[in-house]
Amino acid sequence: MGSVSVGLEGLVYAKLVKDEKGDIQYGEVKDFAPVISAKVDTSSENGTLYANNGPIIAKTQIGETKVSLGVSEIPMDVLADITGQQLVKGVIAFKQDAVPPYVALGFTGTKEDGTKRMVWLTKGRFGLPSEDRKTAEDKIDFQTDEIEGTFIQRSDKVFKIVGDSGIPGFEEFESTFFDKVFDVTKLVDTGTTTPTEGGAA
């Protein structure tokens, strides 16, 4: 019987510097913000081809991944970094023509048995966060930030990387999984998957 997720921690990101077949590079992994919630929804479409009075082919097409994050507050330097804006002396003058960079997003889901489910989404862009502010009242009412992003596949067709510390063999990668965006070419030597072109720097 499997374990159940009970927590969420360690939200990080890294800019995607280069995404070409056989040459995928990321920048430094940085802290994003203290995370409250993360909803990851990957769209998929199922289709069936009918011929000779019956179904002959069933196909599933995986689409984009929508991410909705709830965080305590996004630091100004991170907000500027992920939205393509500029932070100057504590001020961001938001420009409509700014182009957000592609980034990878990582986080850890903790489980009730003490194991962890570690996730990298490999290529996506974030929009501007929504803000909901109101005056303080006589009861505590935390006002947090929400931000959404859209993630897609890289040139090597990898769009998501998931590791689980409850599965034998993952201990080889667990302590360094978020040092860099996980390099999937490491899996070739273990014999646990088929060879994959490219990888994270």
Task: List the one residue out of 111, 8, 133 whose CA is nearest residue 68.
Answer: 8
Kindly give the pairing relationship between strand 30-31 and strand 35-51. Answer: unpaired
For residues 181 and 29, the answer to whether their CB atoms sit within 8 Å is yes
**Predicted pLDDT at 142:** 59
Residue 89 burial by Cβ neighbours in a 10 Å radius (0-12, 13-18, 19+): exposed
Please tell me the distance from the alpha carbon of residue 154 to that of residue 103, in angstroms, as a whole number. 11
Residues 6+ positions from 156 with CB-CB distance below 8 Å: 21, 24, 184, 196, 197, 198, 199
Given 3-state DSSP classes, what are the helix, strand and coil percentages for the chain, each rounded to the nearest 5? 10, 45, 45
Q: Mean pLDDT per 10-residue run, the chain (201 residues)?
A: 74 96 94 92 88 86 91 92 96 95 96 91 92 62 81 95 94 95 84 43 39
**Predicted pLDDT at 1:** 53
**Predicted pLDDT at 137:** 66
**Predicted pLDDT at 194:** 41
**Predicted pLDDT at 172:** 93
For residues 143 and 132, the answer to whether their CB atoms sit within 8 Å is yes
Task: List the one residue out of 160, 41, 164 whose CA is nearest residue 114.
Answer: 164
Please tell me the distance from the alpha carbon of residue 122 to that of residue 103, in angstroms, as a whole number. 7
Alpha carbon 43 to its chain centroid, in Å, reads 15
**Predicted pLDDT at 135:** 61
